[in-house]
Every structure is written in C-alpha cells, then in structure tokens.
Amino acid sequence: TLHAVFVAIPPPEHTLAISSTTGGTTDPAPGFYRYPEGTVVTVTAIPDAGYLFDHWELNGATRTENPIDVLMDSDHTLYTVFVAIPPPQDTLTISSTTGGTTDPAPGARLYPVGTVVGVTAIPDAGYLFDHWVLDGTARTENPINVLIGRDHTLHAVFVAIPPPEYTLTISATAGGTTYPAPGSYLHLEGSVAMVIAYPEKGYLFDHWLIDGVTRETENPISLLMDKDHTLHAVFVEAPPVPPPKINMLALGLGVAGMVGIAYYATKK
C-alpha cells in the first residue's frame, strides 16, 4: 500500500528587531523575533523613572503612538527613544535703569530649579552701578548670584557719576567780612562762585589774593571753580576825614551896625 502525505506550506516568516536608547525598555524586550507573515505585533515602550518615552523609529520613520502595532509583511527594525524628564524650571526676569546693562542682558529666562545664575551689572560711560533690587530687596554685590528655587525679579540700578567738586576757602583780614562768610565751600567743577567783600566802618576794601598770588580789585569777584582755590579779602583802614575849613566872609548888608557872616566848608 502506498499512502501519500501532504502538509501545508508554512507562511513565510519575517524578523522584527527591537532596540532602545538608555532610559527604558520595551515589551517584548529588545531583541530579534521571527513572526509569520501577516502577523501584527504590538510593542509597548516602558520608560524608567526620570525618563519619558519620546518616539519610535520604525525602519527609520518616526512614529509617536505607544504602544505601536507592527504588521509583519517584511523584516522590520523598531528603535525606541527615551528622554530624561527635565527638572522643574523657574523664571529669572532681569531689568535695569538707564545708565547700564547686565550680563545676561535684561529679559526673562527659564532656568532649572537649583541652578545658580551669576549676573553682572555693566555701567555705561558716565554712570556707576549703585545696587540691585532682588525681589524687592536691595543688594550691593556685583556680580550677584541668584539661586533658582522660584521665580525671581532682578533690577539693576545705575546712577550718574556726579561732576568733581572743588573747595573754595575764603578768608579776610581785619576790617571786614565777605559773603559768603569766611570758610570752606564745595562747588561743582565748572561752576562760578561769586564773593562780595564788605568793609567795616572805618575800613576800605583794597584787593583780593587768589591762591596767595593774584591780586584782583573787582568787588564782587567771580571765580571759575576749575580746581581748589583760596580767596583772601584784604581790607585797609580808611584815611581820616580832615576837619572842614571855615571861611568867614563879612558881607555888608547896607544897614548901619549890622554885619552878615556866611560859613562854608571846602574839601581839602
């Protein structure tokens, strides 16, 4: 007897190669699997703690669904991409007054919690850095370090450099005073100080000594404050006034027995 035995031809099989980045695994686990043609294979991405599933790369093409179904109509590669979960972030908002800038420049930026951000104040020409206002509190160090643990505001305050000041020292001899009174006074560079000499009774203003050398006679005097100056008022005794001369002139009035006398003073 002869008996012929026939068997069904098995369907073709295809390979699914699964792999992943650091930060997670898959179900089925990464590896190589053979499946009959036409099979639909479901693969799930499972991130580790601190990571997120980002996307698949199926034969080089990006797919984002999770789990993913793969039809085994040919050999396939499936690559799983995980990314670290970024730490929480807070905002540092930097601003400044006129007269300077900051590094980093003014603006709002996100930083991970726990980051220490160094900020430097940079004054413009003619200005000085004065202080920071960090969340409403004054701080003076420059640069300043800000620990990011919540949202912060940081404001840089610049002030104009005042012009130089010079000292005018006024003095006087006996016999008078000045206005302003003798003493030392600060004046801004380039300003003009005016001083008046006032002689006392019996004295006359004679001259000024400027910085111990220059003799000037104008009163009041105007002095350009281009450096420190001394100004000394010199008074002298007034000469005595001579007594008046009295001339007697007899004037006949044409009346017997009467004489008119006229008196007048002349300056010597």
Mean pLDDT across the chain:
92
Average pLDDT over every residue of 87-93:
96
Q: Does residue 37 sit within a domain?
A: yes
Closest of 49, 56, 110, 109 to residue 81, by C-alpha = 56
Confidence (pLDDT) at 215: 83
- Greatest Cα-to-Cα distance within the chain, rounded to the nearest angstrom: 211
Question: Which of 160, 186, 210 marks a domain boundary?
Answer: 160
Q: What is the pLDDT of residue 261?
A: 42
pLDDT at 147 over 90: yes
In a domain, 266, yes or no: no
Domain contains 52: yes
Host domain of residue 34: 13-84
Residue 134 has a pLDDT of: 98
In a domain, 267, yes or no: no
Domain membership of residue 246 (yes or no) is: no
Segment 238-247 long-range contacts (CB within 8 Å, at least 24 positions apart):
238/199, 238/202, 238/203, 238/204, 242/268
- pLDDT of 248 reads 56
| Global model pTM greater than 0.85 | no
Mark whether 57 and 26 lie in a shared domain.
Answer: yes
> What is the b/e burial string over 144-161, where b = at least 16 CB atoms within 10 angstroms of the residue's CB?
bebebeeebebbbbbeee
Q: What is the mean pLDDT of residues 159-187?
A: 97
Q: Give exposure, 122-138, as e/b (b: 16+ Cβ within 10 Å).
A: bbeeebebbbbebeeee
- The domain total for the chain is 3
Residue 248 lies in a domain: no
Last residue of a domain, one of 160, 176, 200: 160
Are 20 and 78 part of one and the same domain?
A: yes
Asked whether the beta carbons of 109 and 84 are under 8 A apart, the reply is no
CA distance 115 to 98: 28
Q: Which of 145, 160, 175 is the last residue of a domain?
A: 160
Residue 72: CB atoms within 10 A of its CB come to 21
Q: Quick one: pLDDT band at residue 247, thresholds 50, 70, 90?
A: low
